[in-house]
Amino acid sequence: MTGRHCGSLDDALTYFHRALRLSPADPYACVTLTGIAHVRMILREYAEALSVAERSLAINAVFDPTYWMLIAANAQLGRMDEARRWLAKFTALVPGIAVARIKAGQPDKDPSRVAAILEALRLAGLDEG
């Protein structure tokens, strides 16, 4: 578990960026990039989170946590049309997905680390479940 769920966000970013440097062609870099986007969401750096999530999507268009970041960052930036467009793609990719299911899959050491994302998913219209 990285610092994005508990511990230092600076350390989490350091580790994620190191992973990208050590393995720039990693086919699973989408996981690392989405981790960076998640940290940027926690830090309320929504434009940066969006930029990194878009890079993640370019690597793997079916890694569903990337969609959480695309939806949430757009919603937090007030781009509700974009957030809802990504939400439609996400719910087509993962039928029956709901906020409760995403929340249940997250560590509960520091719920504030996922709160802004969950709230933005709700704001964009994801079913609570």
For residue 3, being part of any structural domain is answered with no
CATH number reported for the structural domain that contains residue 119 in this entry: 1.25.40.10
Q: Which domain holds residue 109?
A: 9-124
Q: Do the domain assignments include residue 58?
A: yes
Show the 3-state SS of 3-62: CCCCCCHHHHHHHHHHHHHHCCCCCCHHHHHHHHHHHHHHCCCHHHHHHHHHHHHHHCCC
Check residues 56 and 108 and name the one with the higher pLDDT.
56
Question: Looking at the 3D structure of the chain, how many domains does it have?
Answer: 1
- 118 in a structural domain: yes
Whether residue 129 is contained in a domain is answered as no
Residue 6's pLDDT is what? 54
Query: By percentage, how much of the chain surpasses pLDDT 90?
Result: 84
Token couple for 104: 């249940």
Q: What's the gap between Cα 54 and its chain centre? A: 10
Each residue's pLDDT tens digit, 71-88? 999 999 999 999 999 999
Region of 38 (left: φ > 0; alpha: ψ -120 to 50; beta: rest) is: alpha
pLDDT of residue 3: 45
